[in-house]
Structure 1
């Protein structure tokens, strides 16, 4: 019986020791009677001081190495050469426009009774425009470039060749043009102001703000505005904008002036845009001021003014004052004839709920228009200008009104369908001087009705019918049916 009692006593002592140390899971004592080595374990638990063994207090010290050892810091990376490249934001937008048109009149509108009756169709790759913006937001800088491809072709350039007795030499490629309409660098001045330097749109009229095909309802830009000033008029200079928090936007520009050799009876100052030569003359500068009220949601209305001389931007110094004892070493020893151009307009744009509307009234005045006309009549044929008398004054009025019926016909909010009406009036010989015959041919009224559709302002299609009447019933009316389609993103 001693072996069994010894085994029991040894087992009890071993269990008590394991429980005391908290490591029961590590016990390897046999559970059955075949444990002869048990008597050898007795000396390990025999001492009465076994319960006072000190491992328990040191248990936290044993667990301490389980905590992760601190990782030594990585050596600092080699600093890059030069400053860190700042964040750059880049945006690309574009729009394209195709047009198909039917005309019931001939091309020659200068006949006694107006254009002859005709039936002709024209297809046109009207324009493709791509715009790229890149900015450094951390520095408040932004660059913008806009390039327009008109009628799918390249353009022409003209040079003044003094070695060929001062004649004009013009090099022609294919029909159409490639134009850099905008290229400027803008810098924010605080939260509400921005200063730009480069080529940008002149802040006159409605087309400086609404030139994309989804901005207006007709197949073409308004005829009234483009009859007296350049279409999407852009020049080089300096621009300052300021936006008041309560809804007023002010724009001031100092740009190169127009060239009065391009002024005419039919297009007034529109032909004065300096596109015939490789560089723009800026001896005569122009000042532009514009104010737009944007406080009311969906409504924008305002006024603009333009004033600048046009004499010293002519290709040749041919509009100068005559005087005695002129110094032959000077180009204009007695000075130039002053021919400043002044433009004033009031404009409105509405996009509220299903309604869409735009309107403009523009008045223009040219000082010394008679002297400009006399000199233009003697210009070279190779210059490519019309050389007809230019009026002292011009007037343009236009407006369009449309209502979105997409929801009425069951289309979703992604679709917009505008039946619309438009009226254009242009008089490029408005109240001329007494010496100039007030030709009714240059008073034009155009009545247009149509339908304009666009999908999320990305894809569009337009169909309209225009009826043009000249200033006298002696001239035959002209009808046009147009369809335009394209994209905008």
Structure 2
């Protein structure tokens, strides 16, 4: 049995509404958040080479709700409040060893894209929050259902291949690109459009891990309604999509680096994404039901994001033993959810953002952590006010 948790205390000098002409208004507000509590359970039958893993996350202590599509009520969306709290099953899978270096997993697991695939616990990264650059463009701690193959090559290369259900393009928008396309609003997960993931990580050099990953999959047929279809004159009314669906494939590719050596810790990543037929997706999303609770703003054809953090452990210089890590750090997050969009889509500078962060992280025995940092977010134009945030977080990994 394992667990980890994260609590956040934050001060903001700006208002929540960032859609004003000159950016958010000046403000002074505090926010406390029971960010997450995650419970992990592992079990297995070693004699058969079988392992099982279960992970459930409790977020924010809020009430949960599920959306249901009711055709009996003219195809409208109903909200069914049925959960006492917001609990998410992030991992639930079985793994079978197929030899010394090869294994296959089936179930729900993390999608092998970006840095959060491996570094998602509060002791894994230096900042008080996970990288804003990564979580603004793709789903935060992205998990989906499917099958995974993992091969460890003895000289230090790990290959991961996955086939998972694709995203739902009704959640795509200007602000967060495809990050809100993860299928969590409905009781059942649609898998009419699948996605393939390939990842390679080099672990040959002590303290260094670097690699690349790529994701490619459809997004059209996983929408709640079959509303993004091709039109034709001889359409058969007895077929859901007699002329086929409008193709809207999603490509995401990244290169990533992790360092933990000689007192230094660092993470870095650059990621590019492309959505095919983004104009068609945007046009259809603009007519979605209000009850679906999506932004309905146009989604860009491309997105670009990059981030890096660097810290150094000064505990030995202060006479502290190996159970203590005290790491001043810096971080830079860059994100543009409207990177080089199509000609008819205005390249809004409010969606190009850079966050500069300085802070300190203290870890005790690799279990308990407390962090403090200051960050300033700047938009792609000086017409928008900078946004300052002071955060403190505490957590544990057990």
Do they superpose with TM above 0.5?
yes
Distance across 1 between alignment mates of 2:351 and 2:194: 29
1:93 aligns with 2:2: yes
Q: Which residue does the alignment assign to 2:142?
A: 233
Residue 154 of structure 1 contacts residue 178 of structure 1 at CA under 8 Å; is this kept in 2? no
Question: Offset of 1:170 from its aligned partner?
Answer: 1.2
Question: Offset of 1:96 from its aligned partner?
Answer: 1.0
Residue 153 of structure 1 contacts residue 178 of structure 1 at CA under 8 Å; is this kept in 2? no
1:400 aligns with 2:309: yes
Instruction: Give a deviation string over 1:426-475, Cα, whole Å, max 9, x none.
Output: 00000000000000000010000000000011011000000000110000
Gaps of 5+ in 2: none
Question: Offset of 1:353 from its aligned partner?
Answer: 1.4
Residue 345 of structure 1 contacts residue 362 of structure 1 at CA under 8 Å; is this kept in 2? yes
Q: Which residue does the alignment assign to 1:328?
A: 237
2:70 to 153, 161, 184: 161
Aligned length, in residue pairs? 398
Instruction: Give a deviation string over 1:14-52, Cα, whole Å, max 9, x none.
Output: xxxxxxxxxxxxxxxxxxxxxxxxxxxxxxxxxxxxxxx
Residue 66 of structure 2 contacts residue 82 of structure 2 at CA under 8 Å; is this kept in 1? no
Question: Offset of 1:172 from its aligned partner?
Answer: 3.9
1:410 aligns with 2:319: yes
Q: Which residue does the alignment assign to 2:46?
A: 137
Counterpart mapping for 1:430-441 below 5 A: 430-441=339-350
Flag the structure with higher strand content: 2
Residue 153 of structure 1 contacts residue 174 of structure 1 at CA under 8 Å; is this kept in 2? no
Distance across 2 between alignment mates of 1:471 and 1:276: 32
Distance across 2 between alignment mates of 1:155 and 1:354: 42
TM-score (norm 1): 0.81
1:268 to 177, 184, 209: 177
Residue 291 of structure 1 contacts residue 304 of structure 1 at CA under 8 Å; is this kept in 2? yes
Question: Offset of 1:401 from its aligned partner?
Answer: 0.1
1:110 aligns with 2:19: yes
Question: Offset of 1:154 from its aligned partner?
Answer: 3.8
1:472 aligns with 2:381: yes
1:202 aligns with 2:111: yes
1:184 to 93, 99, 120: 93
Please provide the CA RMSD for this pair. 0.9
Q: Which residue does the alignment assign to 1:149?
A: 58
The change in CA–CA distance for 1:450 and 1:174 in structure 2 (over 3 A counts) is farther
Greater Cα radius of gyration, structure 1 or 2 = 1
Residue 356 of structure 1 contacts residue 403 of structure 1 at CA under 8 Å; is this kept in 2? yes
Distance across 2 between alignment mates of 1:317 and 1:470: 37
Counterpart mapping for 1:246-265 below 5 A: 246-265=155-174
Q: Which residue does the alignment assign to 1:278?
A: 187
Flag the structure with higher helix content: 1
